Each structure stands twice: as C-alpha cells, then as structure tokens.
C-alpha cells in the first residue's frame, strides 16, 4: 500500500507502565488513545482516559479495567503483546484482504471490513479529528483541520488496488481534499465525474465501488464530503463514509453505513469504471 502510515500505529517499542523506565510520551499516548476508543465502543467499561502521554494512576486504572474486560489479569502494565490486542481492530481493517472477484467487490468488502471495526476519532475538548484511525487515513497526520473523509476513501481504494500489485496513484491523485480530487476527475481530458443530474437521468452510469462527492453550498468550495457507494436501489444509494455521523454530516466522528436519497441530495460521482476497464 502507498498509504502505509497505519503501520506506525500497530506497535510499541517497550513495555509501558506506571513509572516505567522505558516510558515515552508518544507510546503512552498510543495506549491512552486505544483505551479511550475501547470506552467509545464499549460504554461503561471504564477505560476512557486523557490522552496526555503521562502514565499516571488514572491510566493505570484504565489499563486494569481494560484487562478485566478482555479476561486478562489486571496488572496495569501494557506489554507489547497486550498492545497488539488493543490495536487488533486497526490491524484487522488494514490487513484483511477484500473478498469477491472484481475490483468493485474488493472495494466494498474492504470498506465493510473497516466499518465493522468501528473506526472513530478522538476529541480534545471542542477539537476533533485526532487519534490512530485518523492518522492511518491521513498519512500520519491528525488534528482539527484534517477532515478525513477523502483520506478514508483513498485508503480503501489503495488497499483494494494493492491486492492487484497496483500503486493507487496510477489512477487517482494522492490528496485528502474533495475539491482537488473532484476537479481532477472532471477535467476535460478525463471526464470521470458524473453529475447528480446525469445520475438521476441514467442510474446505470453508477455502480458499487464508485466514489460520491457531496456538493457544498459554500461559495469557495465545490464539494464538502465523500464516501463509497456500496449498493443502489431505485432512488437510494447505500454508502460507507468516514468522518461522518448517524445524520450523515461532514466532519463527523467515525465511519458509518448510510442510506442516501440521491434524488433529494446533490451527490456527484467519480466513476471508477476507467480503473475497472484497465485492470
């Protein structure tokens, strides 16, 4: 894969513990992040803690609760083996091959593999877009300004094409900006962009595995959000999208499976048929 920053999230170099001689701020933050993510996905487990890099008594208590939750002896110590258990959702998402015989099948299968692991960002006060999932999708970066919906989409495309031994940048520009990728797709030399109006008039133009772009009402922005088409049924498209929420807003908190009425919303499409035809 081109987008391989997820590898940095899968390991710690040394055991981390209260007053440990090999503690580092970065590795303690990794642990605190996964404890917090576990609490998000297992409410009332009591594993949530501040992501501050300090392996203090609160972090030790959270580790013990995590160990209890997974049936381990509650030592409060995070070994490399325990950390590997913590990051299993991310490892599964990124290393599980896609199923099916076509590129479109693989894209949808891989998107589902990610979604069922419940990727979620971590908030810091009023700021969002932090954490190991975001960094994995956004080339090692996170922070409030890093809206990660396109990073998620390109990760899925990258992962699928890597199964064919193909560098995804052969077919798409490496960018996390919806406007940049959309403008690239609709350039007269390519014409990979299908407008919402064209889609409504001819639904057969769009298929699973294609990329949707949601139009923006802002004067300085064309598209505000993106995701992957999973299925089509009359006027409804089912999608998997990152950096959204239950309501389907842009810049949300996780990866969700959505039902969207493309007749009532402005969704343009980047068709991947040119890739399908090539491989």
Taking the C-alpha atoms of residue 39 and residue 105, their distance in angstroms, rounded to an integer, is 32
In the chain, the percentage of residues whose pLDDT exceeds 90 is 95
Mean pLDDT of the chain: 97
Nearest to 12 by CA among 4, 29, 89: 29
H/E stretch holding 139 reads: none
- In sequence order, the 6+-apart residues with CB closer than 8 A to the CB of 14 are 20, 22, 23, 24, 27, 80
Chain segment 94-108, per-residue pLDDT in tens: 999 999 999 999 999
pLDDT value, residue 219: 87
Chain segment 23-51, per-residue pLDDT in tens: 999 999 999 999 999 999 999 999 999 99
The CATH number fitting domain 98-278, selected from 3.40.50.620, 3.40.190.10, 3.40.50.720, 3.90.1720.10: 3.90.1720.10
Question: How many Cβ atoms from other residues are within 10 Å of residue 196's Cβ?
Answer: 18
The whole-number average pLDDT for the span 146-156 is: 98
In eight-state DSSP terms, residue 216 is: P
CATH number of 5-86: 1.10.101.10
Domain layout of the chain by residue ranges: 5-86, 98-278
Question: Cα angle at 190 between 155 and 172, to 5 degrees?
Answer: 15
Alpha helix ranges (H) inside the chain: 25-41, 57-69, 80-86, 88-95, 103-116, 132-137, 149-162, 178-186, 196-201, 273-278
Taking the C-alpha atoms of residue 128 and residue 130, their distance in angstroms, rounded to an integer, is 6
> What pLDDT band is residue 207 in, cutting at 50, 70 and 90?
very high
Chain segment 212-257, per-residue pLDDT in tens: 999 999 888 999 999 999 999 988 999 999 999 999 999 999 999 9
Report whether pLDDT(261) > 90.
Answer: yes
- In sequence order, the 6+-apart residues with CB closer than 8 A to the CB of 21 are none
Taking the C-alpha atoms of residue 79 and residue 144, their distance in angstroms, rounded to an integer, is 31
């Amino acid at each position: 894969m081109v987008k391989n920053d997820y590898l940095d999230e899968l390991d710690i170099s040394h055991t981390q513990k209260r007053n440990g001689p090999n503690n580092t701020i970065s590795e303690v933050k990794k642990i605190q992040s996964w404890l917090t993510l576990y609490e998000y996905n297992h409410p009332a487990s009591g594993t949530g803690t501040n992501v501050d890099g300090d392996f203090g008594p609160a972090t030790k208590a959270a580790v013990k609760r995590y160990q209890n939750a997974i049936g381990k002896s509650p030592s409060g110590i995070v070994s490399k083996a325990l950390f590997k258990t913590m990051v299993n959702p991310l490892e599964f998402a990124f290393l599980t091959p896609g199923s099916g015989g076509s590129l479109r099948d693989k894209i949808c299968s891989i998107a589902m593999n990610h979604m069922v692991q419940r990727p979620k960002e971590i908030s810091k006060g009023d700021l969002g877009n932090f954490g190991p999932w975001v960094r994995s999708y956004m080339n090692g970066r996170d922070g409030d300004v890093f809206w990660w919906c396109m990073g998620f989409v390109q990760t899925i495309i990258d992962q699928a094409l890597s199964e064919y031994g193909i560098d995804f940048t052969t077919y798409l520009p490496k960018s996390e900006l919806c406007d940049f990728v959309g403008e690239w797709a609709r350039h007269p030399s390519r014409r990979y962009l299908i407008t919402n109006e064209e889609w409504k008039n001819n639904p057969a133009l769009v298929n699973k595995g294609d990329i949707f772009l949601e139009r923006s009402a802002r004067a300085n922005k064309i598209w505000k959000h993106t995701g992957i088409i999973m299925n089509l049924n009359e006027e409804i498209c089912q999608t998997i999208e990152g950096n959204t929420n239950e309501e389907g807003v842009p810049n949300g908190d996780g990866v969700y499976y959505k039902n969207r009425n493309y007749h009532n919303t402005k969704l343009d499409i980047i068709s991947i048929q040119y890739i399908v035809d090539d491989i």
